Amino acid sequence: MIEMTPRRRFWRRALPAAVLMASLPNTVNSQLAQNLFLDTKAMSLGNAVTADPTGIMDIHFNPAGLTKLDGRQWQLQAMNIYLSATSTFSLPDDYDADQAGLLDISNDPILQEGDSQASAAAYIPGYGIMPMDMLPILTLPTAGVSIQPPGSKFTFANAVYAPMAAGFAKADDDPGRYQAKQVALQRFTYLSPSFGYKVNDEFSVGASFLFSHQAVSVVQDIRAPSVLVGVGELLQDSFGCFDEDGNPTGNDPLAPLITLCGGNIGPYDDVGELRLTTEETLSPSFNLGLLWEPTDWFAFGLGYQSEAVTHLKGTYELEYTRDFADFFRSFRSSIVGAIGGAIFSLPTGQRRESGNVSVEMTYPQHLQLGTKFRFLDRYQINVDAGWTDFEKWDALKFEFDRQVSFLSTAKTLAPELVTDTTLSQTLGYRSVWSWGFGFQYDLNSRVQLRAGYEPRETSIPDNARSIQAPLGFASLYSVGMGYQWDMDTVIDLSLSFMQSAESIKADPQDAEQVGEYPNSSNAINRNCLTCTVTNPYPGLDVDTKLTIGAAGISFRTKF
């Protein structure tokens, strides 16, 4: 008799739920895109521009700053972004294969497939995710216009831009394909009527009304490394179900009582592929701002971006491998399989499940406070502090338009999270404060030299880290310049670099299910009885590194 350790009991009970929960997107890219790549001047100053108007993109940062734009102006800019996300999988240093039992992690083929490499991707409405693998540069264009009527205290503006744009893409054989082969989280603002009002020479206010398109899309391979599947593979080998080339032999000695040779399965074999796309074409929100400039050497600004509760709707498709589907189709045809399958709602063996899905997602509110100090005529320092309400991302609830087989199985394990047609995915994010610092030197009447530093706190708790959004604490460094081409024209340039590295250690090999192991993550490599998010890389150490470089150029002139 095989003794079932706590770790093995977990996998035996949680396999069906794990397969489904692996297939649902973990949308943690929002912090990656918060206040990034929106404006060339802002990037060069570490995004510390709430008290230092940038131009037409004050629609986003602080609408009160629009009062600084006189006459009629238009602005066009492009932010060219290079993104590289790498992940390395390895055995823990103290791993002992002799103590592994039926699931020997050292046999995981992921260990032989090298590092995971992800590049940038974008979501194109009506098309889907577009990987930037041929030319690994993602260009985010922005355009806007402003009008200040002669003698008026009002300035009106409108811009087209992406306040949130984050996406990754990996090759079909990439070892990280079990946590999003392709994923995109995008918010695109296509209409933003805005105004700034100059109350007096020292004080201005403003507001923006934003109409946006929101999308979440994911393509992901699924696997379920588990002791239960390992037992099934061992029995298939004992029964001689398949020859050395994997071809069926026709042997199934326990049929019709129970059939185990319908399809060739193993703990590290693929289960299938998920494709899920949800979007909302009209998601309204608003921005508010104020700007106080009591003296020539000091200014204070405040910008507020409202939350937006978005009801995303779309489609999903789960396509299972032939072996996985054939195994359950054959198993459900046996006596034990028919009875057990009905009791536990096991998969029926269909190759494909598809339908409609919806999820309610909150675009979090954001508050930014900033100051500007000028001294010795030529020097300027900006300091900003920003807060984002990511605690609203405590959980995501997916609603399906029909019964999904894996949901029916999972609800017996987690009835508080799963029904036949719904699933709540716990995130547990936290609201954080981040700082931004900018420095500017006026070289002469035409040229301004800039530098910025932004230490970006992460909203992702340690137990939710993953390679789907490998972003922990990150430092953004930037330089840039502004050039007054003529009386009516300004050109801004920026170069920026950001990097984040995480080390997600596996649980100890002898970990108990009730133990707390702070170095691992419930979203990638934990072993625990109550984890609601599956771990496609159990027992492996995972090291991630995210590198982003961006070069921006902006052109603004009167017309």
Q: Are 437 and 453 in contact (CB under 8 A)?
A: yes
CATH 2.40.160.60 matches 6-221+278-309+361-558: yes
Output the 3-class SS for 63-130: HHHHHHCCCEEEEEEEEEEEEEEEEEEECCCCCCHHHCCCCCHHHCHHHHCCCEEEEEEEEECCCEEE
Rounded to whole angstroms, how far apart are CA atoms 98 and 117? Answer: 32
Q: Where are the domains of the chain?
A: 6-221+278-309+361-558
Rounded to whole angstroms, how far apart are CA atoms 8 and 267? Answer: 13
pLDDT at res. 410: 63
For residue 121, give both structure tokens: 């991707």
Strands 154-169 and 137-147, bridge-based pairing: antiparallel
- For residue range 332-374, what is the model confidence (pLDDT) as tens digits? 999 998 998 877 777 788 888 899 999 988 889 999 999 999 9
User: What is the crossing angle of helices 227-239 and 6-22, to 10°?
Assistant: 100
Full DSSP string of 173-202 = T-TTTTS-SEEEEEEEEEE--EEEEE-SSS
Q: Cα separations (Å) of 349 from 16, 253, 321, 329?
A: 13, 21, 10, 4
SS3 of residue 9 by DSSP: helix
Q: Could you count the other beta carbons within 10 Å of the beta carbon of residue 447?
A: 12
Amino acid (one-letter) located at 109: P
- Contacts of 549 by beta carbon, 8 Å cutoff, 6+ apart: 81, 82, 495, 496, 497, 498
Rounded to whole angstroms, how far apart are CA atoms 481 and 257? Answer: 77
Nearest to 475 by CA among 490, 493, 496, 444: 496
What residue ranges of the chain have pLDDT lower than 50?
1-23, 28-30, 529-533
Q: Which residues pair with 82 in a beta bridge?
A: 137, 549
Torsion angle of alpha carbons 147, 150, 153, 154, nearest 10°? -20
Q: Could you count the other beta carbons within 10 Å of the beta carbon of residue 399?
A: 15
Q: Could you count the other beta carbons within 10 Å of the beta carbon of residue 344?
A: 11
Helix (H) or strand (E) holding 6: helix 6-22
Q: Could you count the other beta carbons within 10 Å of the beta carbon of residue 266?
A: 18
Amino acid (one-letter) located at 221: D
Rounded to whole angstroms, how far apart are CA atoms 236 and 70? Answer: 77
For residue 2, give both structure tokens: 């095989």
For residue 305, give both structure tokens: 């971006």
Rounded to whole angstroms, how far apart are CA atoms 497 and 548? Answer: 6
Chain centroid offset of residue 121 CA: 12
Q: Cα separations (Å) of 555 from 53, 79, 193?
A: 15, 12, 21
Question: CA-based diameter of the chain, in Å?
Answer: 92
Q: Which residues pair with 483 in a beta bridge?
A: 447, 491
User: Scanning the structure block, which residue is given the tokens 């880290």?
Assistant: 465
Rounded to whole angstroms, how far apart are CA atoms 273 and 181? Answer: 10
Nearest to 556 by CA among 72, 45, 5: 72
Q: What is the DSSP letter of 443?
A: -
Rounded to whole angstroms, how far apart are CA atoms 347 and 364? Answer: 37
Question: What is the reported pTM?
Answer: 0.87
Nearest to 320 by CA among 349, 348, 351, 347: 351
Rounded to whole angstroms, how far apart are CA atoms 491 and 483? Answer: 5
For residue 102, give both structure tokens: 């039926």
pLDDT at res. 420: 77
Rounded to whole angstroms, how far apart are CA atoms 556 and 39? Answer: 12
SS3 of residue 340 by DSSP: helix
Handedness of CA 400, 333, 19, 519 (dihedral sign): positive
Q: Could you count the other beta carbons within 10 Å of the beta carbon of residue 551?
A: 18
Q: What is the DSSP letter of 237?
A: H
pLDDT at res. 12: 35
Q: Are 226 and 11 in contact (CB under 8 A)?
A: yes
